[in-house]
């Protein structure tokens, strides 16, 4: 029924009715399997809003990676002939005016405001001519301790609070009072990264939390943190096998209101997107980072460079000077021709 409803609304191109429909259908995600599908899609396409993800999944529940025609083309891929795309809501912006003049930001650029939404089209990776030859996602950790270190260091830079490693009876926790994340020093690999993402999420979303273990607020916050950790870990192809349907059921998805569920889903998507974008930047920095030289090493390198330049100048000067005759050459030249 829902499938028919959304197709009918898409045909009408009524964005207001579409938004209302998606809000009404949010209860579908109280089903653990549906909720997990949502998280899986966010991991694949974190830049799409929660509403657009739900809209895409209404059109095709197991939809894969998506992109606009232009985005696929920019990456060198082509849409198969005759393929019909999937619809999303695209924001339309316009310049903001006050007293007939455009509003400017601190940098002198024109401020834009949301005008409304229109319906746009995206295509799934399976609709590409090159689908069979698309590069496979590489497992990021792959038992390589250096990769664990890089991800840990990237997350440490992304975190807005200090991170401490110490022996603990639990995997980790965030202390709002100390403004610090504490991680069990005995964790390693996927468990270490997953726990750190979980606690970084708490530190970003729940800084003023007064939740008590077992109450509704605590449950919602744990659902947000664990779901965000799942998405980010999944994005880097880190093992998430511990995140099961049974585990999801333990957080009482079916007991929260539609409004609470929508808020949780939006928080998860926005937080995961922000973390992934920042982690990517930090990983890129570490990839391009050259080993730092000590002051002595720098001075030695500069001295060698200076010595090389002086030697080069000396050689050039010697080439320009007329060549002096040796005593033997001079003696030979004096008697050259005699007796011939």
Tens digits of residue pLDDT in 36-56: 999 999 998 999 999 999 999
Buried b / exposed e over 236-266, threshold 16 CB at 10 Å, is: bebebeebeeeebeebebeebeeebbbebbe
Q: Can you give the pLDDT at residue 310?
A: 67
Q: Can you give the pLDDT at residue 301?
A: 65
Buried b / exposed e over 280-311, threshold 16 CB at 10 Å, is: eebbeeeeeeeeeeeeeeeeeeeeeeeeeeee
pLDDT class of 270 with cuts at 50, 70, 90:
very high
Q: Can you give the pLDDT at residue 13?
A: 84
Beta-carbon contacts of 23 under 8 Å, excluding residues fewer than 6 positions away, are 258, 262
Using the predicted structure, report yes or no on whether residue 298 has a pLDDT greater than 90.
no
Question: Average pLDDT, whole number, for the chain?
Answer: 82
Instruction: Output 67-72 pairs: Cβ under 8 A, ≥24 positions apart.
Output: 67/122, 67/123, 67/125, 68/120, 68/121, 68/122, 68/123, 69/121, 69/123, 72/123, 72/128
Using the predicted structure, report yes or no on whether residue 332 has a pLDDT greater than 60.
no
Tens digits of residue pLDDT in 195-246: 999 999 999 999 888 778 878 888 899 899 999 999 999 888 887 877 666 6
Q: Can you give the pLDDT at residue 199?
A: 93
Which residue in 79, 55, 57, 59 sits closest to 67, CA to CA? Answer: 79
Tens digits of residue pLDDT in 114-142: 888 889 999 999 999 988 887 765 444 44
Tens digits of residue pLDDT in 87-107: 999 988 888 888 888 888 888
Q: Can you give the pLDDT at residue 287?
A: 78
Q: Can you give the pLDDT at residue 150?
A: 86
pTM, full prediction: 0.74
């Amino acid at each position: 029924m829902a499938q028919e409803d959304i197709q009918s609304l898409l045909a009408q191109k009524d964005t207001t009715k579409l938004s209302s429909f998606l809000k009404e259908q949010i209860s579908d995600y109280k089903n653990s399997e549906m909720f997990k599908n949502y998280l899986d899609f966010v991991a694949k396409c974190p830049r799409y809003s929660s509403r657009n993800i739900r809209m895409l999944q209404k059109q095709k529940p197991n939809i894969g990676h998506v992109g606009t025609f232009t985005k696929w083309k920019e990456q060198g891929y082509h849409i198969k002939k005759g393929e019909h795309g999937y619809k999303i809501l695209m924001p339309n912006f316009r310049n903001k005016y006050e007293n007939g003049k455009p509003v400017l930001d601190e940098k002198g650029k024109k401020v834009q405001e949301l005008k409304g939404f229109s319906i746009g089209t995206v295509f799934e990776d399976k609709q590409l001519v090159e689908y069979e030859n698309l590069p496979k996602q590489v497992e990021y950790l792959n038992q390589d301790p250096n990769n664990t270190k890089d991800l840990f260091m990237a997350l440490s830079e992304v975190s807005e609070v200090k991170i401490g490693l110490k022996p603990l009876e639990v995997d980790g926790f965030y202390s709002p009072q100390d403004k610090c994340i504490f991680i069990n020093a005995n964790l390693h690999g996927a468990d270490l990264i997953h726990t750190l993402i979980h606690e970084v999420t708490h530190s970003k979303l729940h800084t003023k939390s007064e939740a008590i273990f077992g109450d509704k607020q605590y449950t919602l916050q744990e659902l947000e943190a664990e779901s965000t950790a799942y998405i980010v870990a999944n994005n880097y192809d880190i093992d998430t096998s511990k995140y099961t349907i049974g585990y999801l059921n333990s957080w009482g998805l079916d007991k929260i209101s539609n409004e609470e569920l929508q808020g949780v889903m939006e928080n998860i998507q926005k937080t995961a997107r922000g973390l992934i974008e920042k982690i990517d930047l930090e990983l890129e920095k570490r990839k391009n980072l050259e080993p730092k030289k000590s002051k002595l090493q720098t001075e030695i390198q500069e001295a060698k460079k200076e010595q090389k330049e002086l030697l080069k100048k000396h050689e050039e000067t010697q080439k320009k000077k007329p060549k002096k005759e040796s005593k033997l050459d001079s003696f030979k030249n004096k008697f050259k021709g005699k007796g011939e």
